[in-house]
Structures are given as structure tokens and as C-alpha cells.
Amino acid sequence: MSEVIHTIEQMKEFSKKAILAQKSIGFVPTMGYLHEGHLSLIQKARSQNDIVVVSIFVNPLQFAPNEDFNTYPRDFEKDRILCEQNGVDVIFYPGYEEMYPQSYQTYVEVSFLSKPLEGKSRPTHFKGVTTIVLKLFNIVKPTRAYFGKKDAQQLIIIKKMVEDLNLDVEIVPCEIKRDADGLALSSRNVYLNAKERSQAICLKKALDKAKELIDAKIYDSQTIIQNMKNVINSYDLARIDYISINSTDCLSELKEVVLGKTLISLAVFFGKTRLIDNMWI
Amino acid sequence: MSEVIHTIEQMKEFSKKAILAQKSIGFVPTMGYLHEGHLSLIQKARSQNDIVVVSIFVNPLQFAPNEDFNTYPRDFEKDRILCEQNGVDVIFYPGYEEMYPQSYQTYVEVSFLSKPLEGKSRPTHFKGVTTIVLKLFNIVKPTRAYFGKKDAQQLIIIKKMVEDLNLDVEIVPCEIKRDADGLALSSRNVYLNAKERSQAICLKKALDKAKELIDAKIYDSQTIIQNMKNVINSYDLARIDYISINSTDCLSELKEVVLGKTLISLAVFFGKTRLIDNMWI
């Protein structure tokens, strides 16, 4: 049975006992509506720790007013069953008032890394992410926390926050999970209609094209990005937000791919739905 | 003997052992150049905890470019002896590179509370304070941390940060220490020349006047502030930065003093030296 905890106080009490008993805590922070991507994080946490905690909290702070906070998919009962089936010990499922009481006013920001890529399209997003993640770390006190590479910039920013603020948690990056046709799993994929869904594979196709060029020793970023654009533009419902080639350490734009240190990432709209994908080279 | 620790790693190691041994840690964060005010914090920490840690770090982040970071008084050897004499177990004395390596970029801000009073005159100050204090809390992991009421707004902001970020440390407020003539102790008092020093008592005199009016049941803020101004203006070297009457919870300006919930605070320049003082009513 996964225990469901709603209050910060009870969650802290649980973690305090675990730490005094010298047990390791693996933590998977989520916004719920769990899919195979989340489950792979949970399974990794399960294999590496004494205790596994999953949080489910759709964090209003990381959505801009024009974004999909209200319509973001939620299904706690299904999530609870999936957690049970995957050996989760505790589901931390707090209410909004619990996490952000009325006088709430403290924010954490990782400045430079939050500006490019997703930050350009979503300028307040990462401030919301780092704030909630720091709060969750302080409440759950994990030994290790698991983040998917799908949200590549988020992962890089959280690692930086942990380093800068001298936190003790180890950040464990996890591989992107994909549907059979290559679409990266995302809770937002449910927004796609049938035709959009069939075309959504273009993000992976563009990344495959990039990989093909790099394997042929073509490292020039302009060339790679142009080829990726061509792939996306051959799908009539796809509208490119960005395609970018950046260093994985400071996210600066790269003129040439540097093997082992490069992030190729893109965001593509299908109607109002915005999908992201990436590849670490 | 007080142990001097220079690195974050060693400090963390020390605290980890103490916590596993279920010992309480009392923490006094300072910028050094210790005076009786600091020593009263250390003594309180000593009386309430198994272990006492004092940090000495002049935090560049809380000084604006036009402020006195370079000239801020420093005397580590004297500080070390004072710590020894007052039973401090560990002096955490890190270098700048240790606390802010070159790629450092994470900041914590308590938004509304950082804006009025000191925040008006020093708009980046509290962001620097909350960032370093959070880092120090994460490194030292104190059970209790001690802050003087002299820096009233700082104390209120740090309490709010602790609440908002769900930190476990208990913040212990400590009374203001004063010289025999009433001047609140501050490391910056050394900047005053003899004539300025003799007039610097005007801050306390103005607060005494406020107390006298309140004791006579005069609660109107305008009247109290005007009377305080008159006191300060009778000293020819004093230049008022602000005099303000605020609520102690949200720091909003009060039209009338509310007993038990009011902060009366002021900042006064003597030449380039800026002194602050306050009274909790």
C-alpha cells in the first residue's frame, strides 16, 4: 500500500524518521497524470533507495496566465494505483493552500540558465519550477531525486540550483521514454487530436535527421538546424517555436556540435499544444 | 578550542555527524568584527544547544557597488579569540570562491517584505542576505539560528523565508545591545569620528521620544514621526534617511501604532556612515 500524505508536517515527520533510521529516500516529483516516463523514474528510484516518495502537485507557479494550468490533465485515482503497482511507499499529495498560503512570497531563481530555450518562450516558468522543487526537497529531504531528460533545461537548472545552494540531494537524470513511433511521452500528448498525434512524430524525426548528419561528421549547427527545420516543415500541422543547439553546461549556443557536451532541443506547436523534445549528443 | 573550518564539505561533514548523534546545533551567522551584540547571540546559542557554530563571512552579495564592502571592518584573529572565550565549537570561515564560485547564479528573494524601509534605500540588499543565509542553513543545518532585532527587517524576512521554503530551523530573535549612552552596537560604528559618535545617540533619543509619546497614549504615526524628526534634526551632523512606523507582520505602514504589532525604525546618515535603529512596540 502506498501511503498518501497531504500535509507538509506529516511528510516531514515521515522523512525525519527515515533519515534517523539511516534509510535512503528516492524522490520523484511529478505533476501527476503518470505515464511510462514517470514510471521509469519511479522504477529507477525503487531500485536505488530504501524508500520511494512520489509527489503529485500541479504547480501553478510554473504556468503563465496564458498557459494550461486549469486544463492540465489530472487523475489522482489512476496515479495512486500506478504508484501502488510500482512499489511507491509514499505519495505526497498536498493542496495549493498547503504549498502556497496566502502570504507566500519567496522565490528561487537560477538566473542565466533560465533565460534561453524554454525560458525565451516561458519567461516565468523556471522560477516556478525551482521554487517548488526547492520546497519539495526541503519537505521530503531526499537522498536522490529523479528527473527525466525530456525536460533537459529543467534538469540542468535543478542541478545548478542544488550545486549553488549547497543542497545534499543527488540529482539522477533518466532517459526519455517514447511511444512505439518515437513520440516522447508527455502528459500533454492527450491534448493532440488524431491528425496532430500522427504528425507529432516530426520532433523525433528531426532529431533523427540531426543524429544522421552528426554520424556523418557534419557538426555545423546552422546546417543541422536547417535540415531539422525542413523535416518539421514537411508536416503541415507543425509550427516551429525553436530549434537550438547548445552546450549542456552553460546552455550557450554552439556554432558546432561538440561530442559529449551538446544538447539539441526543439519546441513545436500543434494548434495550442506545445511539444518539446531533445537529444544529448 | 574553537575549530576553524574553511570548506563547505568539512562543515557539512561536521554537521552530519552532529545530527546523526541527535545533537542540537545553534548557529550565529555573522560578518565578523564581533561586538557585544554578536556575543549576546553566541551566549544565547550556547545556553540552548549542544553545539554552537559561528560563521564569519563578509557577504559581497548584500552590498551594492556604491556601498562599503571593501572597507567593511575585518579582524579574524580577534574574532577567533572572542569565539573561543564564548565557548564556540566551530567557526565556519569560508573564502569567497568557496561560497560563490565563478558560475554562481542562484538567488532567493522574499518579495514584498524586501521592498519597504531598508529595501527602498538598498534595493538589492535583502536578496543578498536571503541567498547567503539559505546557503549557510543548508551547509550548517542548524536546529536554531540567532538574529539580532537590530536588523529588524532582516529578521522578519528570514523568518518568512524559513516559513515559505519549509525549512526546519527555528529563528531566535535577540534583543538589541547598546553602548552605555544608548547607541545600538554595530560593526559600522567604527566609521564614526569623535564628533559623529557623540551625536549618534540621536537615533536612540528619537526612539525614546516615540516611547514617551506612546506611553502617553499618543498613537498617531504622523505625530510620532514628526517628533522623532525634531529630535534628530537638533543634531547638526545627522541626516535622516527614513523614519517609519510599520506592522511587524507584513511591514505595511501604519497610520496608528498598534501595541504588540508595531515596528518603529529609522536610518540616519553621519557623513557616509549610515546607522539604523528600531524599537518593537
The pLDDT assigned to B88 comes to 98
pLDDT band (50, 70, 90) for residue B238: very high
pLDDT band (50, 70, 90) for residue A225: very high
* Stretch A147-157: mean pLDDT: 98
Cell of A66: 496564458
Q: How far is CA B64 from the centre of its chain?
A: 17
The pLDDT assigned to B252 comes to 97
Candidate from B112, B167, B168 with C-beta closest to A105: B112
State the best of B112, B158, B164, B167 to mutate against chain A, taking most chain A CBs within 10 Å: B164
Query: Mean pLDDT across chain A, nearest whole number?
Result: 97
The pLDDT assigned to B156 comes to 98
pLDDT band (50, 70, 90) for residue B111: very high
Q: Which residues of B touch A103 (CB under 8 A)?
A: 160, 250
Q: How far is the alpha carbon of B26 from chain A, nearest alpha carbon, in Å?
A: 19
The pLDDT assigned to B135 comes to 98
Distances (CA, A) of B265 to A22, B116, B259, B260, B278: 47, 11, 15, 15, 4
State the best of B166, B167, B170, B252 to mutate against chain A, taking most chain A CBs within 10 Å: B166
The pLDDT assigned to A166 comes to 98
Residue A38 annotated among the catalytic residues of the structure: yes
State the best of A166, A250, A251 to mutate against chain B, taking most chain B CBs within 10 Å: A166
Interface ipTM = 0.96
Q: How far is the alpha carbon of B163 from chain A, nearest alpha carbon, in Å?
A: 9
Contacts of A84 (CB under 8 A, 6+ apart): A1, A2
pLDDT band (50, 70, 90) for residue B12: very high
Using DSSP's 3-state secondary structure scheme, residue B8 falls into: helix
At A161, phi and psi to the nearest 5? -60, -45
Contact B86/B213 with Cβ under 8 angstroms?
Answer: no
Angular region, A251: left φ>0, alpha ψ -120 to 50, beta rest: left
Q: Counting beta carbons within 10 angstroms of the beta carbon of residue B12, is it exposed (0 to 12), middle (13 to 18) or buried (19 or more)?
A: middle
The pLDDT assigned to A146 comes to 98
User: Counting every residue, how long is chain B?
Assistant: 281
Between B202 and A187, residue with greater pLDDT: B202
pLDDT digits (tens, 9 = 90+) for A47-59: 999 999 999 999 9
* Stretch A142-166: mean pLDDT: 98
pLDDT band (50, 70, 90) for residue B232: very high
* Stretch B135-148: mean pLDDT: 98
Give the B-side interface with A, CB within 8 Å. 8, 12, 20, 22, 103-113, 130, 134-135, 138-139, 160-161, 164-168, 250
DSSP B10: H
pLDDT band (50, 70, 90) for residue A213: very high
pLDDT digits (tens, 9 = 90+) for B17-47: 999 899 999 999 999 999 999 999 999 999 9
pLDDT digits (tens, 9 = 90+) for A159-195: 999 999 999 999 999 999 999 999 999 999 999 999 9
Candidate from A106, A109, A250 with C-beta closest to B165: A106
Q: What percent of chain B has pLDDT over 70?
A: 100
pLDDT digits (tens, 9 = 90+) for A246-255: 999 999 999 9
Q: How far is CA A207 from the centre of its chain?
A: 18
Query: Mean pLDDT across chain B, nearest whole number?
Result: 97
- Domains detected in chain A: 3-174 (3.40.50.620), 187-280 (3.30.1300.10)
Contact B172/B145 with Cβ under 8 angstroms?
Answer: yes
Candidate from A20, A108, A166 with C-beta closest to B108: A108
Cell of A107: 522565490
Report which of A273, A276, A137, A131 is spatially closest to residue A203, judged by C-alpha positions.
Answer: A276
Instruction: Locate the DSSP E strands across A159-237.
Output: 170-174
pLDDT band (50, 70, 90) for residue B178: very high
Give the A-side interface with B, CB within 8 Å. 8, 12, 20, 22, 103-113, 130, 134-135, 138-139, 160-161, 164-168, 250
pLDDT band (50, 70, 90) for residue A24: very high
Q: What is the dihedral of CA B153, B156, B158, B164, to 10 degrees?
A: -130
